[in-house]
Amino acid sequence: MADGRRIRLLALLLPVGVAAVALLAWTQPWVTLELADGRTIVAAGDAAAPAVPPFALAGLALVGALTLAGLVFRIILGLLQSLLGAGLIASGVLAISDPVAASLGPLTAATGVDGLDSVRALVESSSVSAWPWVAMVAGAAGIVIGVAIALTASRWPRRTRRFDAVTFASGTADSRTDRLDAWDALSDGDDPTAR
């Protein structure tokens, strides 16, 4: 049982770490562009990869859901964690594969020129920092963690029943109904003790 608790603890902490690393990477400079007129434009992750925060925050929400989920939903949430990790990787790949397109917003704001082809003509060189790679590593870790959650879901300790729906025993429900009827009768002006 101690092994199951350890697995559960790791499954709840590691996605938080993935989200934290992804958000840290997102706040850093991702792309540096040298323009033909000598200016340097730096695009941070917020411009180059705007999808990173939704993926990271969804991963944090997933941790909250995992704390309450039963076996089937733990498996589903593990697979969802893997999909969120794949989204982080896709965000990094898009920024690395076309740095000019990823930096279109800051380029347009700095130059006043709109349109990808027009802006591309102004860029002399581009370089990508290590931060997109960090986000992609976080995404890869998210995929592995999600698969591990799905595979080890049955080894987690059983969840408590305090979050399940309340059911009444047959005698208890009837006595509760009688008490509610008595209160309703009293509200209507009838004295239930006079019967």
Is residue 77 within 8 A of residue 149, CB to CB? The reply is yes
Which CATH number is 2-162 given? 1.20.140
Strand order in the sheet with 29-35: 40-44, 29-35, 123-128
The residue-averaged pLDDT of 141-155 equals: 92
Backbone phi and psi for residue 164, each to the nearest 5 degrees, phi listed first: -80, 165
Q: What is the model's pLDDT at position 174?
A: 59
Read off the pLDDT band of 166 (50, 70, 90).
low
Tell which residue, 157, 152, 150, 151, has the closest CA to residue 1: 157
Q: What is the model's pLDDT at position 2?
A: 67
pTM score of the predicted model: 0.76
Residues 13-68: pLDDT tens digits?
999 999 999 999 999 999 999 998 889 999 999 999 999 999 999 999 999 998 88
